[in-house]
Amino acid sequence: MSLNITIRDVAARAGVSVNTVSRALNNRPDVSAGTRERVLRVAERLGYTANGVARDLRAKRTSAIGVVVADVANPFFAAVVKGIEEVAHASGYSIVLCNTNEDYTKEQEAVGLMLRKRVDGLLLVPCQKHPGTVMLLQRRRLPFVLIARRFDDLPTPYVVNDDARGGFLATDYLIRQGHRRVLFVNGPKEIWSAQQREAGYLRALSEHGITPDPSLLRVTTAMMDGSYRTMLEVLDEGVSFTAVYAFSDLLAMGVLKALRERGRKVPQDVAVVGHDDIDFVEILETPLTTVDMSKSRLGREATRILIEQLQKPLPLEQAQVVLEPRLVMRGSA
């Protein structure tokens, strides 16, 4: 078996020094064409594969980016991760992935791992509400970019969508359609974007001179079955409403399911608007009108910014990006 061929073995076989091999392999200019040729041939024949670990130790950088994601199986985040991988790979960076299940403790562990792995930079998709990990990163001077969630009181690089704007767009649209009683099925208050979308919802009401009705503002979990149950409750309570704006498409789907079970037609009886524009929503029975959040772009932009930062310090303003959401009108509202 011929594993673990090192630069030394190649050097011996090629009759040159390790250093020459190193330079030939790395395409450095100061090697004669003939020598380089021979070294490459020998390396090839021996099945040499560079030891990245040794190289990283020597170079004090790993060309790796850590990605800490709340839930890879969530289509929103999965799309973000795909965007990240795309840009990272194209720039010669590899990806170290951790899943946190939205758990702060696991996020801490994940960051610890990334620190030990000596990744060059970190992407948090998104970070948890508790700023501890972010502060740790700052203290450790590990470059990072927050994705899809940021802190109001902590100056950090981030790429987020304008969630308040998204909430406004959705609600404003419904009101312009003539709806005065718009139910908002929101996600947990800890989620930054939930707060933002709620602010947008309230602003839209306000701009149209509608007084918010507390019974039309519901908070549920980030899961589909949460919004499903919440919607059933609202229906059972007999609260009147003609439109629903859901925190996310996932939640909108729970809403749709509940409405269908109770015989309410969408959009005839109730108009529904979601948020995120994940795949699938366009092929629902009634394709969902929703706010598009360009997930892949979120990942791509953040990665671009992170990599730029790795090369030269970037002024914070250039590392804070807010992407504009866009209302996608489909059949549900």
For residue 78, give both structure tokens. 């999965």
Site for a copy of itself in 143-182 (CB under 8 A): none
Task: Give which of a copy of itself, DNA, none residue 20 binds (C-beta under 5 to 8 Å, depending on kind).
Answer: DNA
Determine how β-strand 271-276 pairs with β-strand 158-161: unpaired
Q: Which of 41, 44, 45, 54 binds DNA (CB under 7 A)?
A: 54
Stretch that binds DNA, among 8-16, 82-90, 193-201, 311-319 (CB under 7 A): 8-16
Asked if 328 is part of the footprint of a copy of itself (rule: CB under 8 A), the reply reads no
Kindly report the CA angle at 324 between 277 and 121, in degrees rounded to 5? 90
- Orientation angle between helical segments 104-117 and 132-140, nearest 10 degrees: 20
Contacts (Cβ under 8 Å, ≥6 apart) of 121: 65, 66, 142, 143, 144, 145, 306, 307, 309, 310
> Binding-site residue total for DNA (CB under 7 A)?
30
Q: Which of 51, 105, 206, 215 binds a copy of itself (CB under 8 A)?
A: 51
In angstroms, the Cα distances linking 295 to 102, 177, 187, 189 are 18, 28, 18, 22
DSSP 281-306: GGGSSSPPEEEE--HHHHHHHHHHHH
Q: Which of 2, 27, 47, 60 binds DNA (CB under 7 A)?
A: 60
CB of 35 to DNA, least distance (A): 4
Q: Using CA atoms, how far apart are residues 297 and 282, in angstroms rounded to an integer?
A: 19
Q: Which of 49, 105, 206, 215 binds a copy of itself (CB under 8 A)?
A: 49
Distance of CA 101 to the CA centre of its chain: 14
Asked if 23 is part of the footprint of DNA (rule: CB under 7 A), the reply reads yes
Please report, as a single letter, which amino acid is at residue 263: G
Stretch that binds DNA, among 55-63, 281-289, 295-303, 317-325 (CB under 7 A): 55-63
Query: Mask: binding to a copy of itself, 110-129, rule CB under 8 A, as x and -?
Result: --xx-xxxx-----------
Site for a copy of itself in 17-46 (CB under 8 A): none
**Contact criterion met (CB below 8 Å) for 159 and 321:** yes
H or E, element range at 318: none
Site for a copy of itself in 257-296 (CB under 8 A): 257, 260, 279-280, 283-286, 296
CB of 203 to a copy of itself, least distance (A): 30
In angstroms, the Cα distances linking 106 to 78, 95, 101, 148 are 18, 18, 8, 19
Q: Which of 1, 2, 27, 58 binds DNA (CB under 7 A)?
A: 58
In degrees and rounded to multiples of 5, residue 266 shows phi and psi of -115, 130
In the complex, the residues that contact a copy of itself under the rule CB under 8 A are 1, 3, 47, 49-54, 56-57, 62, 64, 67, 71-73, 75, 78-79, 81-82, 85-86, 89, 94-99, 112-113, 115-118, 139-141, 224, 253-254, 256-257, 260, 279-280, 283-286, 296
In the complex, the residues that contact DNA under the rule CB under 7 A are 4, 6-8, 15-20, 22-23, 25-26, 29-36, 50-51, 54-55, 57-60
